[in-house]
Amino acid sequence: MKIKVGDNVLVLTGKYKGRTGKVLKTNPKANTVVVEGVGIVHKHEKARKANDTSRIVTEESPIDASNVEVVCDKCGKATRVAHAEVDGKKVRVCKKCGAALDKAYAKKLKGKEAAPAAEEAPKKRTRKRSQKAEETQE
């Protein structure tokens, strides 16, 4: 399944065609996804205790994963998902613009870029006691 929780997707078919939303849940075995604001159903909830009240609950129902397409953050278009290998890691990329779709991987990349800069200019570490002793001797 090429769709992950947190992806922005565009609904391609059905009553909610053309709507975009965030993926809340995925079920790879059933090949379904739950999208925010799409597939709204009303369920009647019965009171189970004496002080509870019966009510009608609205919630999102799962839709088939083949009916949605991932929306690229960079170009803003609905696209099929391609895979590319970057630094030995398999990453989901946009077929139209080539931008990475994995947000977690992009965050890790930013962390790796910042780490070498810290190694280039390490701070000289001195103990506080030795600094005080040097100051008093002078």
Residues paired with residue 34 on neighbouring β-strands, in sequence order: 25
- Judge whether 27 and 50 are in contact, CB under 8 Å: no
Binning pLDDT at 50, 70 and 90, where does residue 124 land? low
**In which element (H, E) is residue 79 found?**
strand 78-79
Evaluate if pTM is beyond 0.85.
Answer: no
Domain that holds residue 52: 8-137
Tell whether 3 is covered by a domain: no
Q: Which residues, other chains included, contact 2 with Cβ-Cβ below 8 Å and sequence gap of 6+?
A: 70, 81, 92
Q: What are 86-98's pLDDT values in tens digits?
A: 778 888 988 888 8
pLDDT for 105: 60
Tell whether 122 is covered by a domain: yes
Tell whether 63 is covered by a domain: yes
**Residue 116's CATH number:** 2.30.30.30
Tell whether 1 is covered by a domain: no
Backbone angles phi, psi at 104, to 5 degrees: -65, -35
Our count of domains for the chain comes to: 1
Binning pLDDT at 50, 70 and 90, where does residue 75 land? confident
Handedness of CA 39, 44, 50, 51 (dihedral sign): positive
